[in-house]
Amino acid sequence: MKLLLTSGGVTNDSIRSALVELLGKPIEDSDALLVPTAQWGQPMCSPESVWRSVAGRWDGEVGLVDLGWKSVGVLELTALPTIGADRWVPWVREADVLLVDGGEAVYLAHWMRESGLADLLPSLDDTVWVGVSAGSMVMTPRVGPEFVDWRPGGTDETIGVVDFSIFPHLDYPGWSSNTTESARRWAANIPGRAYAIDDQTAISVVDGVVEVISEGNWEYFD
């Protein structure tokens, strides 16, 4: 699987170019599935925010579904255990890209395991995973207790496809918990290496090779 791990989505030309390179073809020739599941575990999200993501109705912003795909469908992970893998696995295999929205990363990890999607990932060699915020953090080993909003006090472990952690929305305006100082405190307490990235930054991972794509600000913590 090819990963494009973002904080705020495909927010600039550099990230868009990286996406096209990972796809190996134009966006308009690519079929996408949107995964909104993480929003249900995040107290700041709501049915309205899920609808906005699915419908591409974020005022003044280009959402995941607005990039010009050949087709876009919705893959809701909480529903998959009720319909059987014979139905949904072909949908995933036929998609060029999974667009994994933000929300709560531990909740998303739970439903990736419960649905069977986590077990399927190693066989999706050519599929591109585009994560936003929690949709990126879920592919890391740990998110840190600061980012656990579902079952607080429980595990902060996620899927661990990559070997680094991510602090998203670095220095986002008005978010006092996402300052550079907060990111450095977070990094000091999380095992392994980590990145703090703002909404103009993404991390590409292909065959274990990590590349930072940015028109903004980011920090690396070893």
What does the pLDDT look like over 39-51, one tens digit per residue? 999 999 999 999 9
- Residue 150 tokens read as 């579902």
Amino acid code (one letter) for 129: W
Predicted structure pTM score: 0.96
Mean pLDDT within 182-195: 96
Residue 108 has a pLDDT of: 98
Length, in residues, of the chain: 222
CB 109 within 8 A of CB 159: yes
Phi, psi of 5 (to 5 degrees): -100, 110
Alpha-carbon distances, residue 124 vs 11, 72, 121 (angstroms):
25, 18, 5
SS3 of the chain = CEEEEECCCCCCHHHHHHHHHHHCCCHHHCEEEEECHHHHHCCCCCHHHHHHHHHCCCCCCCCHHHCCCCEEEECCHHHHHHCCHHHHHHHHHHCCEEEECCCCHHHHHHHHHHHCHHHHHHHCCCCEEEEECHHHHCCCCECCHHHCCCCCCCCCECCCCCCEEEECCCCCCCCHHHCHHHHHHHHHCCCCEEEEECCCEEEEEECCEEEEEECCCEEEEC
In this predicted model, what pLDDT tens digit does every residue of 50-67 receive, in sequence order? 999 999 887 777 789 999
- pLDDT of 86 over the 90 cut: yes
Distance CA 16, CA 128 (A): 13
Name the residue range of residue 178's domain: 2-221
* Total number of domains in the chain: 1
- Provide the CATH number for the domain around residue 16: 3.40.50.880
Place of tokens 């450095």: 184
In this predicted model, what pLDDT tens digit does every residue of 144-175 receive, in sequence order? 999 999 998 889 999 999 999 999 999 999 89
In this predicted model, what pLDDT tens digit does every residue of 87-101 receive, in sequence order? 999 999 999 999 999
174-194: b or e for each residue (b if 16 or more CB lie within 10 Å)? eeeebeeebbeebbeebeeeb
Distance CA 147, CA 154 (A): 11
- pLDDT of 116 over the 80 cut: yes
